[in-house]
Amino acid sequence: MGRSTLKYIGNRGFSADIFKWIFGLVAGAIILMFLVRFALQHVDISSKLTDLEYGEYIDDQLEAFRISGSGSKNLELAEGYTLNLDCDGFGINRNLKKSNKIIFGPRSLQRSLGIWTDSWNFPFKITNVYYIGDENLRILIIYDDNFGGYAKSLQMPAIFNVQKMHIRDFSVDRLRRESGSERVNLIFFTAVTPAKDIISKLGNAHVLQVKPGTYSVVYQNNGKETKYLGDEMLIGAMFAPENFDCLHAKAIERMRYVTDVYVRRADMLRLKTLEPACVQGLSDGKKALESLVDTDNAAAMFSLRDQLEEQNRHLRRLDCAQIF
Amino acid sequence: MRRSSKGQIEMNETLLVMFFIVLIIVIGSLLYYRYFMETAKTEVEELSEQEMSVLLASITEMGEIRCGQGDCIDTSKIIPFSNVIKAHSAYYNTDLGYKKITLEIVYPASDHSRIPCDLRAYQQSTYPNNCGFYVLYENEPKQVKKAITVGSPVSIYYPETDEYRIGRLKIESYA
């Protein structure tokens, strides 16, 4: 033991100086740990708060956008922020907010977003649906001679990277060379042959087959077939094929609630009507609305929609209060 | 003995210094935390006000209450809508949260402005002149600390008589 060390040790053990040093070190380490923990927690809470604020901002933007009824616009997301979409809601980074909004889009989006909203009517307005894409999303619609007219009639705003082509011009190898890291949603208005080959060649591809005759779409990545109600829903499937099943169910749920309002409304309006023809028309309408609430069959839903439109026209001709 | 008491004094000094440093850090942290929470609270309130203004403008576009022709509220949908909300409260609470949404009839002014336009009022032959306001949605928390109110004039439609009136849509948000 050196002299300097011995200086601090008397016959009673450690001196006050050395104890002070040890005590200072331990206390300093504890204070430092506390400050570091405080700083980390603060950073975590701050970033969560910013994410939530940003999420609210996007929610307000979508809500305000709904007022216009239909339209499209661009929205820039700041660097480092990711908009995550889920069937149950959406949010920035890891902070998802539960929402009943029906938003079709890839699960995660960054930077420059294209947002489009349109009213979904069946036959009356149910709600506004949203379509969101970013620079990384490419939608390729491939059709044959049978469904070329229908595929071309589906219009989407120019802010999205959507291309339409005939099946004879489609080449998987060329697409693989062109697409790079892009996410590609391939929408076939024709038979997909062979789907597995396309999916394996294009790593980031979602393949959807549309069967307009049966109002159904088949997500070839997992083979799931889902019925769709109207073009708004079909376009939704093009934006979010992997989530379509769930989002469509969510849209149907909303449709049932809105239809339920019309059922009760028709019942109430009957009370205020004296004209027998109007009472009969409203009763028929109520029955059709009740069937629409109860059915799960897509073909029956389309038939009821047409029936309701006709019944409404009939009531208008009679100058009665209408079903919707 | 002298050496021991000097050591003890030094030790006490050290402990005192440490105690004050820790006290300053704790008080500083608490003050900062309080300031941070206050700022966050203000931001939340601002966001809530912003959200209410947006909701006020967009609510008339809800398929559940909007007129077929748009840009107005169909009064014949309000009573059914409030019943549907009661049946599916969890669904609508997700979007509307802790709020109360009412629609007051402003013009022509009703002599019964304090009577709600519910199913009972609707069933009477004097409807819509026998009531003064509709309750669209109501979800009040158990303890209300603060309520912010926003309102806006809206056009309201009565399909029973095919007439329009002017109303005031009011949203109260509870904190």
- Is A42 an 8 Å CB contact of chain B? yes
Domain end residue (candidates: A135, A169, A202):
A135
Residues A8 and A130 in one domain: yes
Residues A67 and A115 in one domain: yes
Q: Is A42 close to B36, i.e. CB distance below 8 A? A: yes
- Is A3 an 8 Å CB contact of chain B? no
What element of type H or E holds A280? Answer: helix A276-294
Q: pTM of this prediction? A: 0.84
Residues A171 and A82 in one domain: no
pLDDT along chain A (324 residues), means of 10: 50 66 85 88 85 87 83 89 92 89 93 92 94 92 91 92 91 82 89 82 87 90 90 95 93 96 95 91 96 92 95 94 92
Cα–Cα distance, A137 to A135 (Å, whole number): 6
Residues A126 and A140 in one domain: no
Residue B113: what pLDDT?
A: 87
Q: What average pLDDT score do residues B78-105 get?
A: 94
Residues A159 and A50 in one domain: no
Task: Return the axis-axis angle of helices A16-67 and B2-58, rounded to nearest 10°.
Answer: 0
Chain B residues closer than 8 Å to A64 by CB: 54, 57-58
CATH number for the domain that contains residue A200:
3.40.50
Searching chain B, which residue's CA lies closest to the CA of residue A28?
B18
Domain count along chain A? 3
Domain end residue (candidates: A105, A135, A165):
A135
**What's the whole-number average pLDDT of chain B?**
88
Boundaries of domain holding A278: 251-317
Residues A212 and A96 in one domain: no
pLDDT tens profile B92-129: 999 899 999 999 999 998 888 899 999 999 999 899 89
Least CB–CB distance from A64: residue in B47, B54, B80: B54
Residue by residue, DSSP assigns B120-148 as: HHHHSTTTTTT--EEEEEE---SS---EE
Q: Is A246 a domain residue?
A: no
Residues A184 and A231 in one domain: yes
A128 vs A117, A205, B65, CA distance in Å? 6, 27, 14
The ipTM is 0.82
Domain end residue (candidates: A241, A263, A289):
A241
Residues A115 and A50 in one domain: yes
Residue by residue, DSSP assigns A65-115 as: HHHTSSEEEEEEPPTT-EEEE-SSEEEETTEEEE---EEES-SEEESEEEE
Backbone angles phi, psi at A122, to 5 degrees: -155, 80
Q: Is B123 close to A34, i.e. CB distance below 8 A? A: no
Q: Is A306 a domain residue?
A: yes
Residues A108 and A171 in one domain: no
Searching chain B, which residue's CA lies closest to the CA of residue A12?
B4
Q: Is A272 close to B79, i.e. CB distance below 8 A? A: no
Q: Is B63 close to A59, i.e. CB distance below 8 A? A: no
Q: Is A323 a domain residue?
A: no
Q: Is A324 a domain residue?
A: no
Q: Is A46 a domain residue?
A: yes
Q: B39: which residues sit within 8 A by CB, 6+ positions away? A: none
Searching chain A, which residue's CA lies closest to the CA of residue B43?
A53
Residues A9 and A96 in one domain: yes
Q: Is A321 close to B87, i.e. CB distance below 8 A? A: no
Q: Is A268 close to B84, i.e. CB distance below 8 A? A: no
Q: Is A322 a domain residue?
A: no
Q: Which two tokens stand for residue A117?
A: 């909203």
Residues A230 and A208 in one domain: yes
Searching chain B, which residue's CA lies closest to the CA of residue A271?
B123
What count of residues does chain B have?
Answer: 175
Least CB–CB distance from B80: residue in A19, A66, A264: A264
Residue A254: what pLDDT?
A: 96
Residues A156 and A38 in one domain: no
